[in-house]
A and B are shown apart, each in its own frame.
Chain A
């Protein structure tokens, strides 16, 4: 069974469209994340949810909106897509403990191409 899964794997769309990427984890973790990996492979945190509550919200355009219907799911909705949104988006999950951040498990990524 896949631990962290994302759909779709590839997403090609035109500028101005609205799209969603879905993420699910079956690890029983309570914290989930979205990262963006740019064309130079640089990974940057976008959002983090713990028990369905937003705990990290880095400086990303408000066109990006995460939604966590339950602890096992964290979806990313993007409005009015722009060329610069083209990247690989990774979902990850971890189990928070009292002392803070621990290893994160990553999904396979969604390659978004905006034309």
Chain B
């Protein structure tokens, strides 16, 4: 079974600073990888996804993530954080294969932004 680890429970950055949120996964083959963001009181919004191909994927709101097979990682980055980026971020892994629809989520990283 797949699993996801987000080592940082809470990260605080200053507005304008760069950001990297860590995500490590466990899966026997190449998984499908996702980052979602949850603003307070809201549902989850898909930021970006990796299925195959280029290991650097671009998402919405200026976010990008890089898949590193050797490190089993899929870290999320943003060069300059905005106050509106304060939210909870979830990494998720999906198992490819016919009939497999399950996403496994990490426990989330809460991002606080100092003005």
Q: Do A and B come from one complex?
A: yes
CA distance A43 to B98 in the complex (A): 23
A90-B94 contact given A40-B107, A56-B101, CB 8 Å threshold: no
Interface of B, secondary structure class, is strand
Whether a CB of chain B sits under 8 angstroms from the CB of A34 is no
Closest chain B CB from A62 CB (angstroms): 20
How many residues of A are in contact with the other chain, CB < 8 A?
29
Whether a CB of chain A sits under 8 angstroms from the CB of B63 is no
B96 (CB) vs chain A CBs: closest residue: A100
Partner of B105, one of A43, A55, A94, A108: A43
CA distance A4 to B43 in the complex (A): 10
Does the CB pair B101–A42 fall under 8 Å? no
Per CB-CB distance, the 6 closest pairs between chain A and chain B, nearest first, are A101-B94, A106-B44, A100-B96, A106-B43, A43-B105, A108-B43
List the interface of chain A (C-beta within 8 A of B).
4, 31, 33, 40-45, 48, 50, 55-56, 90, 92, 94, 96, 98-109
